[in-house]
C-alpha cells in the first residue's frame, strides 16, 4: 500500500514541475533600441527648420472611453455638453470619425504618430502582468471568477524585462517630438499609457512639460474626500483599478516627480492646461490633453452628480456626472484661449480614444453595436471634431476620417514636412473639407485574431475567436444588425483579399494580448482580445 502511494507521489512530481514551469518565451523578447536604430529619427528631427513665429497653436483634447452618443452634439438624450458641442458646431463635425484601434494605448499611439498602430506592431495594451506558469493560467481561465473575461488561449508570454519595454516604440516619431524640434512649446496633461521605461516617458517623447500618470487609469480623487461620489461596479477589471489607486504607474507626476493633487483630476488637468496656455501665449505651442474621463474608476464631484436628475442607476449617474465635469473643463480651456486672443490662431481637436466601455456597466453606444475592445461601430466610431476659428467654416464632413489624420493635418498646418522614410496612414484633412473626394478609400483594423475593413459603405469584420465573418452596409444598417456575407459573398471575398494583402505588409506583433472579453449579442457571445 505504501509503495502504491509512493509511486503515485512520484508520478505527480513531473506534473507539478510542468505546472510550475514558467511560460516566458523568446518569441516575445523586446530590447531597448540601439543608437543605430534611433539614427533615422534623430537625423529627421535635427534637420527641421524653425516654425514661423506666427504658426498656429495646436490643441488635442482626448476623452477616455467616451461614446459618440454620450455628448449632446450626437445624442438627444445624452448629457448636455455645450462646450464640447461648440467645437463641432463652430468647426467641423466628422460624421464618421474612426480610431485606429478599439482600445486605449494603440489608438493613442496611432493618433500621435499619424500611422496605424499595426505599422509598428502595437496591437494590444502594454501589460504589467502575464500568467507565471500553467497552474496560474489554468486557475485564471477556469477557477477564478473573471466575469466575461477569460485568459487568452496561449502558453507563450514575455519575460519581465520585455514587459518593461512595451509601449510606443522609440523609433516612432510623435507629433510632440516634431513640433518641439521645430521650436514649439509642448505640454501634456493627463493620461500617457504609452510606456514608462527609459526613453519612453512623456518628457522623453517631445513634451517639455508633463503632468499626469503613466498607466491606463488613476483615481480622480481620494475616495474618502468630501464632495466626491464614488461608484465601484464590482466588475473584474474595476476591482483591480480601485485597488491600485494612485500607486506605482498610477501615481500623479509633474515632469517625473510625484506630486500631491487634492483637486478633482479633470479640473486639475484643465487648470494646468490654462496656465500653460497663458505662459506660452506669445509663441506657438502644442498642448495635448488626454483626460482620463469618463474611464473607470467612476468618481464625480457631488455638485455635478446633483445636476443629473433623471438617471435612477447610480453608476450611470456618476458616469454622466463625469462627462458634465469634462465638458466644464473643455469650456475652461476654450474660454482661456478666447481671453488670450488665441482662438483664431489655434487648431482645436476633440476626440475619444475609443467607444464607451460596455463592461464598465455605464457606457452605452446605442444605436451602434458593441463598444470598447470591439471592431463594431460602437468600439471605433467616435466623436471627432475640429475647430479653427476664421480659417475653417462650420460643416459636417460626411466621409470616413481617422484619428491618424490629426498628426498629419497638424504637421501640414505647422509647415513641417513629414519624414520620408516611413508610411503614413493619416492624411491632411484640410484640402478634403471643400472637396467631394473621400480621404480614405479604405480603413483597416487588426487586434490579433480580430480584424476589420471598411470600404466605402461596407464593413467586413472577421473574428477568429468566435469563428464569425460579418459584412454590413453601414449606410443602410449603421447598427450592424444584418449580416450580408452570404448575400454578397463576392464583395466579402474581395474585401477579405484586400484585408489580407494589407496584413502581409505589417511587421510582427510586438507582444501578445492577455485577455479575451466576451460580449453577448442575439444569444451568441463574441470574444475580442485585448
Cis, bond preceding 367 (omega within 30 deg of 0) = yes
User: What is the percent of the chain with per-residue pLDDT over 70, rounded to a whole number?
Assistant: 96
Q: Which position has the higher pLDDT, 21 or 223?
A: 223
Cβ neighbours, 10 Å, residue 89: 14
As beta bridge partners, residue 68 has none
Cell of 99: 480610431
Q: What is the pLDDT of residue 430?
A: 97
Q: What is the pLDDT of residue 4?
A: 54
What would the pLDDT profile of 282-325 be if each residue is shown by its tens digit? 999 999 999 999 999 999 999 999 999 999 999 999 999 999 99
* Cα separation, 471 vs 179, whole angstroms: 41
What would the pLDDT profile of 36-47 be if each residue is shown by its tens digit? 999 999 999 999
Cell of 175: 507629433
Domain boundaries, the chain: 52-439
Could you give phi then psi for residue 113, rounded to 5 degrees?
-110, -15
Residue 143: pLDDT over 70: yes
Average predicted confidence (pLDDT) for the chain: 94
Q: Are 133 and 194 in contact (CB under 8 A)?
A: no
Q: What is the pLDDT of residue 354?
A: 98
Cell of 171: 523609433
- What pairing do the DSSP bridges indicate for beta strands 285-290 and 185-191? parallel
* Cα separation, 357 vs 419, whole angstroms: 35
Which whole number is the average pLDDT over 215-238?
94
Residue 231: pLDDT over 90: yes
128 CB burial (10 A radius; 0-12, 13-18, 19+) = middle
* Cα separation, 378 vs 32, whole angstroms: 36
Q: Which position has the higher pLDDT, 7 or 346?
A: 346
Q: What is the pLDDT of residue 360?
A: 83
What does CATH list as the number for 52-439? 3.40.720.10
Lowest mean pLDDT among 138-142, 398-402, 525-529: 138-142
What would the pLDDT profile of 67-112 be if each residue is shown by its tens digit? 999 999 998 777 999 999 999 999 999 999 999 999 999 999 999 9
Q: What is the pLDDT of residue 3?
A: 58
Residue 459: pLDDT over 80: yes
To which residue does cell 502504491 refer?
4
Residue 341: pLDDT over 60: yes
Reference 367, options 77, 139, 172; nearest CA is 77
Residues making up the chain, counted from first to last: 530
Q: What is the pLDDT of residue 15?
A: 43
Amino acid at each position: 500500500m505504501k509503495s502504491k502511494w509512493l509511486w503515485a507521489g512520484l508520478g505527480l512530481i513531473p506534473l507539478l514541475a510542468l505546472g510550475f514551469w514558467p511560460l516566458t518565451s523568446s518569441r516575445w523578447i523586446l530590447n531597448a533600441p540601439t543608437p543605430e536604430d534611433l539614427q533615422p529619427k534623430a537625423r529627421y528631427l535635427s534637420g527641421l527648420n524653425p516654425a514661423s513665429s506666427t504658426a498656429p497653436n495646436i490643441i488635442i483634447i482626448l476623452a477616455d472611453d467616451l461614446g459618440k452618443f454620450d455628448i449632446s452634439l450626437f445624442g438627444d438624450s445624452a448629457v448636455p455638453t455645450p462646450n464640447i458641442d461648440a467645437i463641432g458646431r463652430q468647426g467641423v463635425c466628422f460624421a464618421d470619425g474612426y480610431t485606429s484601434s478599439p482600445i486605449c494605448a494603440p489608438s493613442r499611439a496611432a493618433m500621435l504618430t499619424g500611422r496605424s498602430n499595426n505599422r509598428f506592431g502595437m496591437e494590444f495594451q502594454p501589460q504589467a502582468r502575464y500568467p507565471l506558469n500553467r497552474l496560474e493560467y489554468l486557475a485564471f481561465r477556469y477557477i477564478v471568477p473573471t466575469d466575461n473575461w477569460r485568459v487568452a488561449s496561449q502558453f507563450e508570454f514575455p519575460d519581465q524585462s520585455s514587459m518593461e519595454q512595451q509601449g510606443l516604440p522609440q523609433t516612432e516619431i510623435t507629433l510632440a517630438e516634431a513640433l518641439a524640434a521645430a521650436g514649439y512649446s509642448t505640454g501634456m496633461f493627463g493620461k500617457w499609457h504609452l510606456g514608462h521605461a527609459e526613453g519612453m516617458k512623456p518628457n522623453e517623447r517631445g513634451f517639455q512639460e508633463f503632468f499626469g500618470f503613466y498607466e491606463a487609469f488613476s483615481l480622480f480623487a481620494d475616495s474618502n474626500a468630501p464632495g466626491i461620489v464614488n461608484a465601484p461596479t464590482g466588475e473584474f477589471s474595476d476591482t483591480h483599478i480601485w485597488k491600485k489607486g494612485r500607486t506605482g504607474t498610477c501615481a500623479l507626476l509633474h515632469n517625473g516627480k510625484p506630486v500631491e493633487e487634492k483637486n478633482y483630476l479633470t479640473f486639475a488637468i484643465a487648470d494646468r492646461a490654462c496656465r500653460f496656455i497663458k505662459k506660452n501665449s506669445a509663441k506657438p505651442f502644442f498642448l495635448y490633453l488626454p483626460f482620463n474621463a469618463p474611464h473607470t474608476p467612476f468618481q464625480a464631484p457631488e455638485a455635478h452628480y446633483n445636476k443629473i436628475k433623471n438617471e435612477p442607476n447610480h453608476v450611470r449617474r456618476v458616469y454622466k456626472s463625469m462627462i458634465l465635469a469634462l465638458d466644464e473643463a473643455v469650456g475652461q480651456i476654450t474660454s482661456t484661449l478666447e481671453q488670450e486672443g488665441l482662438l483664431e490662431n489655434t487648431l482645436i481637436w476633440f476626440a475619444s480614444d475609443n467607444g464607451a466601455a460596455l463592461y464598465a456597466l455605464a457606457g452605452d453606444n446605442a444605436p451602434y453595436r458593441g463598444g470598447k475592445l470591439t471592431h463594431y461601430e460602437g468600439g471605433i466610431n467616435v466623436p471627432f471634431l475640429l475647430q479653427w476659428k476664421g480659417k475653417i467654416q462650420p460643416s459636417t464632413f460626411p466621409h470616413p476620417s481617422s484619428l491618424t489624420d490629426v498628426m498629419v493635418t497638424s504637421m501640414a498646418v505647422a509647415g513641417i514636412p513629414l519624414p520620408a522614410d516611413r508610411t503614413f496612414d493619416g492624411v491632411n484633412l484640410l484640402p478634403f473639407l471643400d472637396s467631394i473626394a473621400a480621404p480614405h478609400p479604405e480603413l483597416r483594423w487588426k487586434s490579433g485574431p480580430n480584424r476589420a475593413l471598411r470600404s466605402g459603405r461596407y464593413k467586413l469584420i472577421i473574428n477568429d475567436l468566435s469563428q464569425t465573418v460579418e459584412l454590413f452596409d453601414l449606410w443602410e444598417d449603421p447598427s450592424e444588425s444584418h449580416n450580408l456575407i452570404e448575400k454578397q459573398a463576392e464583395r466579402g471575398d474581395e474585401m477579405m483579399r484586400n484585408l489580407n494583402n494589407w496584413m502581409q505588409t505589417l511587421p510582427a506583433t510586438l507582444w501578445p494580448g492577455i485577455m479575451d472579453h466576451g460580449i453577448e449579442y442575439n444569444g451568441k457571445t463574441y470574444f475580442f482580445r485585448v
